[in-house]
Amino acid sequence: MTTKQRAYLKSLAMKMDPIYQIGKSTLTPEITQGVSEALEARELIKINVLKNCMADINEVAQVLSERTQSEVVQVIGRKIVLYRESKEKKKIELPKEKK
């Protein structure tokens, strides 16, 4: 992902509300499955990490990214933004890479 594409996704994410919350139980299989389904439906999602989550937020973002085959757009404060291109319902058109 290029810097321009990441900046574009960040600008889209600024207007979004978090649709998932990760708490004390950190990453359960149910949360991972739900995030994967949300990524397929929306492509770009924001996740809120609650204060009672003892895991490192950057680590949570990385593990979630690996498990859902998505890209971490940004981790800011206690929020994680993930992107994965949808197989069936492509909604977001990323800026083209320069060659």
Mark 38-61 as b/e (b = at least 16 C-beta within 10 Å): bbeebbbbbbbbeeebeeebeebb
- Domain residues for the domain of 61 are 3-83
More confident residue, 49 or 2: 49
Residue 53 lies in a domain: yes
HSE-CB at 1 with a 13 A cutoff on CA atoms is 18
Record the pTM. Answer: 0.89
Which of 94, 88, 1, 80 minimizes the C-alpha distance to 40?
88
Please give the pLDDT value at position 99: 57
Domain count of the fold of the chain: 1
CATH number, position 78: 3.30.110.60
* Predicted confidence (pLDDT) per residue in 55-78, tens digit: 899 999 999 999 999 999 999 999
Residue 42 lies in a domain: yes
Residue 89 lies in a domain: no
Residue 97 lies in a domain: no
The answer to whether the CB of 84 falls within 8 A of the CB of 39 is yes
* Predicted confidence (pLDDT) per residue in 11-54, tens digit: 999 999 999 999 888 888 999 999 999 999 999 999 999 999 88
Instruction: Give me the helices (H) in the chain, please.
Output: 3-13, 29-42, 57-68
